[in-house]
Each structure stands twice: as C-alpha cells, then as structure tokens.
Structure 1
Amino acid sequence: MEPNPAGLDQPRRSDGASANRIHPSAIVSPGARIAGNVTIGPFCTVGPDVSIGEGSTLVSHVVVDGHTEIGTGATLYPFCTIGLAPQDLKYRGEPTRCTVGARTVIRENVTIHRGTATGGGLTRVGSDCLIMANAHVAHDCLLGDRVIIVNNVVMGGHVVIDDDARVMGSAALHQFVRIGRAAMVGGVCGVESDVIPYGSVLGNRARLVGLHWIWLRRNGVGAEEMHRLRRAFRTLYPRQTTGIPVFEERLAAVRAEYGADPRVAEILAFIDQPSKRGLVRIATRGGSEESEGA
C-alpha cells in the first residue's frame, strides 16, 4: 500500500488550515493534536497525548501513543508502533517522551519506545531519517538527523547515534553504545563498544576496519583532506600492534600533528568524551588485539 490510503472519507480539522483525511476505522483520541493536511489511514490508533505535524501520513495499522511528537511530513508505514511503554522493568508509567523528526520515514513493523525516568526521559529520532522494516529503537535512544537504520537492526537502551550514521541490516547495538557521526556499521555486526565518527566497523564482534570513505567522498571531502584523515587514522590505529606506542601516546601524537583538521578534531573530541563502553577495537593483522581507550 502506498502512503495515500483510499477510503479516507471523514475529513476533520484541528489547528491546521487544511482538512485532514482520517479513515472511519481509525481511532484518534480527542486530546490528540493533529496539524493540517495529515492523513491517518485504516485501523490506526492515536493516543490522547500525541502530536502529529503538518503533512504527515500514517499509512494504516499504525499505533502512536504516549507523550509522542511526530514531526512535519513524516511517514509511518503499517504495523509500526511509536511511543509505547519501554521494555524496562524499572518503568512505572512515568510520562516520558518520544519524538520523531520532520520528513522521517518509519517502515513496517518498526518499534520505537518512549524513554524512562531514570534514563533521561526521552527517545528521539531526528529529521530526514529512514528506519527500515522490523528495526527496534529502544528506550532513551537518541538518533540524530539523516540516520539510516536498515532492516532488522536492534538496539539496547540509551544508544546514541549521531548525524549521518548508517547501521546495516541485522546489526545489534549494545546498550549505552555511541555511534559517531557518519560512521558505518556493517551488517550482522554485534557492536559492544563506541564507534568513532567516520569509522567503519565489520564483523561479530565488531572491529574497526577503516573510515567511511564512501560517505566522505560523496560529501565533498577532497583528496588532500582524505590523505590527512588516512594518515591520522593509521597513526591512531596501526594494523600492527607489536612494538608501537600505547594508545594514549598515539592519541597525543595525532592531536599534535593533525588536531587542527576539523574532522580529526571531531574524532578526538568523541574519544575524549566519557564512555560506558570504551572504543571498538581495530582489526589487526595476526589476530592480536589491543584495548583502545576501554
């Protein structure tokens, strides 16, 4: 079904100037705040504390509940559920929140749970995101803008995913993990630790294999900056770990030589932030491993 369901013969007005199209089988609470030009398809349920922005579409069989805000122009596909209670035994029904940004697309069977009182009280999905079918965004997760989450991805609570990151199909993100800006998480990865901005991780358990070069090229990073990023990355994460300085010394060397580069500075700032999970380790030759900043 396309996001323009037929049979919407019950127009209603709310605070918007345009008439909404709400299917007769939809259950929309009188307390819900529905902006103009909103389409709510068959068998959808919208709770009393929900706000839906201008021009958004609930295709069919969508449930939006709790203190939830859907941004303008968002599209929610069948059988997704947004803002329901978190899967956390400590949750006692507190009025925590869930927000979905403008123009974000939520595909079939996605679940996005509201936050918990002990975890910040907010689950947020940013603007212009694509959350593909069967993904799960747990309580207190914070996703930035233009994030793409591919089919069957699952994440524990309190995960932070920064702008422009990509998480490929069937990856699993441990609770409290941070995924840096424009990072790439490969398919079927088990990610137990933080992924640096622009980093690319593969495998189970996930290991750092390089930077997200495709995204960098597509977003206008020139050859000279690419070379600086490559040299900085290889200084910080050499393939061989025998007979080299410890991670803290390599970090200091990168800061001294490449710290003026804005993207390198972003990586360094990410590493400097407090972390509950440490950093994803480098995939090294010979099978040896080193704990990077854990």
Structure 2
Amino acid sequence: MSKIHPTAVVDPKAELDSSVEVGAFTLIGPGVKIDAGTRIGPHCVVEGPTTIGRDNQFFQFSSIGAAPQDKKYAGEPTQLIVGDRNVVREFCTFNRGTSQDAGITRLGDDNWIMAYVHLAHDCVVGNRTIFANNAQLAGHVHVGDWAILGGFTVVHQFVHIGAHSMTGMGSILFQDLPPFIMAAGNTAEARSFNLEGLKRRGFSPEQLNAVKQMYRILYRRGLTVDQAKMEMMALQGEMAAAKDTIQLMLDFLNTATRGIIR
C-alpha cells in the first residue's frame, strides 16, 4: 500500500497488484483490476468493470472505464480491457462497451496514446498504434496494429482502420481505411502508401513492391473494389514472398462494411 498516495481513494472491491502506483487524488472504483507495474497518475478516475494489464502508464487527469456515451445504455455490465505496456497521456477518456456490440472496449499492447484521445464504447484497438493529440474514435471503431492517427483525426462510428495505415492531421474518416494506406483531408482521401513506416518495420523489398502494386490497383486504375480484389488475388500467384501481405489487404476488403476511402 506504500505505492498508493494517501489522498487517493481505492475501493475495497478493486484488485490492485502490490506494485501498482496510484497518484494523488485519484479514484479507483469497484470492479477494477490492475496488474503489476502499472502506474496511475494523479487526478485520474478509473471505473469498473475495467481490467488493466502490466506496466502501463496513465498520466494525470484521465477518465478510464466510465459508462458509454450511448443513450441506449441501461447499466448493463460491460467492460473496458487494456493490455500491457501502454502509455496514456493527459485528459484521455476510454469508455466501456455496450450490449449492442461485444460489450467490451479493448486497447491492446504497446500503444502510444497522446493527450485528449477519446476511445468510445466498443472500440477495438490493436497493438503498437500511435494516436496523436485529440484523435477521436466514435463507437464501434476498429483500429489495426501499427496504425498511426494524426492529431485531430476524427473517425465515424463503425469505421475500420487497417494495419500499418496512417492519417494526416485533421483527417475526417467516414469510410474504412485499408491497410498500408496514408489518408488525409476532410473528408479523408487516399494520398499514398506508408512506405517509410513499412521500411522501419522491416518489410522486405518484395513486400514493399506488393504494397506499391496494390496501391496502384486500388487507387490508380479506376477499378471497382471487386475488380481490384481479383487483380490482387492474381498478384498473390506472382509474388509468393509477399503472399501474406497481399492477404492482409484482401481480408480487410472482404470485411469492409462502410465502403473504403478512395
């Protein structure tokens, strides 16, 4: 208990590992579980049911696990689940899920979440993402691994954002953003593919070439999405070393429900 500031209020029904640090004037409610090495800064509120993994750092003035901002919510026992090694900066708001979806808002591992970010109910965020200041997700948004959202990016409900994609500052997304694609604008349009980011993540020349070819197929040849998928399936037969990279794009296009940014 020496790691909990004397002005913090921790509900007896909360479950905190003995190594968890809690800052001054922070409130930890019932139904909250926090694993080893996590630090909750001062002036935070963490409400349950919420589960937070290992070695996370929450900076001051965040609201974590509050009830969803959904008028249909009637007090159902939904959850927020946060993984390991996330950094969450000041004034972030993460809401629990709703019974209209899986009932869980989920943040994965190793994410870098900057100030004033909002994760609405039922959002699912993968691993190793970066959300710059004031990135805002409406309900039911899914974000793939390694995605980067520029500052003041706003995402409409139910939109899916693919792995390794990137948005520019002030982007407004009403449709799904495929993997690897860089988009910007209000409303957002595809600008290029995330070449530099993929290089930094160790993509091979064959994989980079496959992403380049998929970008041309999807955005430079005037094809429908169905025609583009047929071209990409043919590309798999020609580029065996990048088969999984191409399949990632195909899987995304096959499950897109709001249309894709073009």
Q: Considering the TM-score relative to the shorter chain, is it more than 0.5? A: yes
Deviation at 1:235, TM superposition (A): 2.0
Deviation at 1:250, TM superposition (A): 3.0
1:199 aligns with 2:177: no
- Cα RMSD for the two superposed structures: 1.3
Q: Distance in 2 between matches of 1:233 and 1:125?
A: 29
Q: Distance in 2 between matches of 1:116 and 1:21?
A: 33
Q: Which amino acid aligns with 1:220?
A: G
Q: Distance in 2 between matches of 1:115 and 1:225?
A: 36
1:265 aligns with 2:243: no
Q: Distance in 1 between matches of 2:224 and 2:5?
A: 63
Q: Distance in 1 between matches of 2:178 and 2:256?
A: 13
Question: TM (normalized to structure 1)?
Answer: 0.85
Aligned counterpart for 2:151 among listed residues 169, 175, 182: 169
Q: Secondary structure at the match of 2:3?
A: strand
Q: Distance in 2 between matches of 1:183 and 1:215?
A: 9
Question: TM (normalized to structure 2)?
Answer: 0.95
- Equivalent residue for 1:35? 17
Please list the CA deviations of residues 38-60 of structure 1 after superposition, one character each: whole Å capped at 9, or x if unmatched.
11110000001000110111110
Query: Are the equivalent residues in 1 in contact too, given 2:116–2:133 (CA < 8 A)?
Result: yes
- Equivalent residue for 2:79? 97
Please list the CA deviations of residues 191-229 of structure 1 after superposition, one character each: whole Å capped at 9, or x if unmatched.
011111111111111111121111110011232332232
Q: Which amino acid aligns with 1:164?
A: W
Percentage of identical aligned residues: 38
Deviation at 1:251, TM superposition (A): 2.2
Query: Are the equivalent residues in 2 in contact too, given 1:191–1:206 (CA < 8 A)?
Result: yes
Mark the structure with the bigger radius of gyration. 1
1:279 aligns with 2:260: yes
Q: Distance in 1 between matches of 2:207 and 2:56?
A: 36
Deviation at 1:274, TM superposition (A): 4.6
Q: Secondary structure at the match of 2:210?
A: helix
Alignment: residue pair count: 258
- Equivalent residue for 1:256? 234
1:129 aligns with 2:111: yes
Deviation at 1:117, TM superposition (A): 1.1
Please list the CA deviations of residues 61-109 of structure 1 after superposition, one character each: whole Å capped at 9, or x if unmatched.
0110020011111111111010001110000111100011111111100
**1:49-198 alignment, distance < 5 Å:** 49-198=31-180
Q: Which moved more, 1:204-213 or 1:254-263?
A: 254-263
Aligned counterpart for 2:199 among listed residues 217, 225, 240: 217
Q: Which amino acid aligns with 2:261?
A: V
Query: Are the equivalent residues in 2 in contact too, given 1:232–1:258 (CA < 8 A)?
Result: no
Q: Which amino acid aligns with 2:161?
A: I
Q: Distance in 1 between matches of 2:194 and 2:228?
A: 21
Q: Distance in 1 between matches of 2:211 and 2:39?
A: 42
Please list the CA deviations of residues 230-281 of structure 1 after superposition, one character each: whole Å capped at 9, or x if unmatched.
123212221x63xxx5442232122112364211111011101151x11111
Please list the CA deviations of residues 97-140 of structure 1 after superposition, one character each: whole Å capped at 9, or x if unmatched.
00111111111000000001112100011111111101110000
Q: Which amino acid aligns with 1:32?
A: A
Q: Distance in 2 between matches of 1:247 and 1:31?
A: 51
- Equivalent residue for 1:47? 29
Q: Secondary structure at the match of 2:77?
A: coil
Q: Distance in 2 between matches of 1:47 and 1:190?
A: 35
- Equivalent residue for 1:16? none
Please list the CA deviations of residues 156-199 of structure 1 after superposition, one character each: whole Å capped at 9, or x if unmatched.
10000011111010010000000011111111000011111111
